[in-house]
Structure 1
Amino acid sequence: MKIATIFCTTLFALFVATSCSTTANTAKLKPKGEVSLANQNWYLVNENDVVKGLYDKDVSIVIDEANATVSGFAGCNNFTATFTKVSGVTSFVNFSETKMACPNLGKEKAFLSMLKNVNSYEVVGKELHLYKGNILLLTFKTT
């Protein structure tokens, strides 16, 4: 319960901090680090551990550069999105998700909203940091 409360509070604070911007929904993909961005299972983490969703399943994403897709588990529902690369800028578009009725859908919507606001990333070791400008929105790790 404590992890869920911390996760919710963190998501809400980050959502509020980023919701006032009207910048385009783009991501500049400039890989840095030791692990490939693509075709990895990236698990959302907070300061305590991997964030768990419904039925104790990890909140996660997978980026498939060959098929220009991003997919994952947002806490209750699965989601997919497409992206296009133009001059080093990647736009995440066409988000779709399953429509299961679950408790705390607000957390899931905040998570997806943050993904839509990402405009840069950095791979550091086995961590993926997603940013909007200089603001760290989400941190994921891989095994």
Structure 2
Amino acid sequence: MTYAKDAVPPFYHGTRADLCVGDLLAPGFSSNYQEQKLSWVYFSASLDAAIWGCELARGEGRERIYIVEPTGPFEDDPNLTDKKFPGNPTSSYRSRDPLRIVGEVAEWEPHPPGRLQDMKDALARMAAEGDMKIID
């Protein structure tokens, strides 16, 4: 595994988990989007991608965007890179090593309700068609 060549901090992780500065986000937990334990932890250098992450995350907790620091090597997220978007325009990455929480984005602009619902509907269609596989 190598470092993603174009990755530039800061890095973000959107979720509904209640975490604190200094906590570690580690692989081995269920995805934000489906019941599948993952051997990677995902993050982005794009605040917009992190907003999608927290808005689409399962659960009832408050939507949160954490500023994270990789503790080891990471690579482009193959679930988005070249599979759905040429290159890595979402600046999305994954690592087998934990991410350290170094802060939280206190204020951010949510996606418009109609756009968010369109995304949720698209994900529901993908799930119904069996096309929600995460490359792990």
Range of TM-score over shorter length: under 0.3
- Please report the TM-score for the alignment, with normalisation by the length of structure 1: 0.25
Q: Which has the higher strand share?
A: 1
Q: Which has the higher helix share?
A: 1
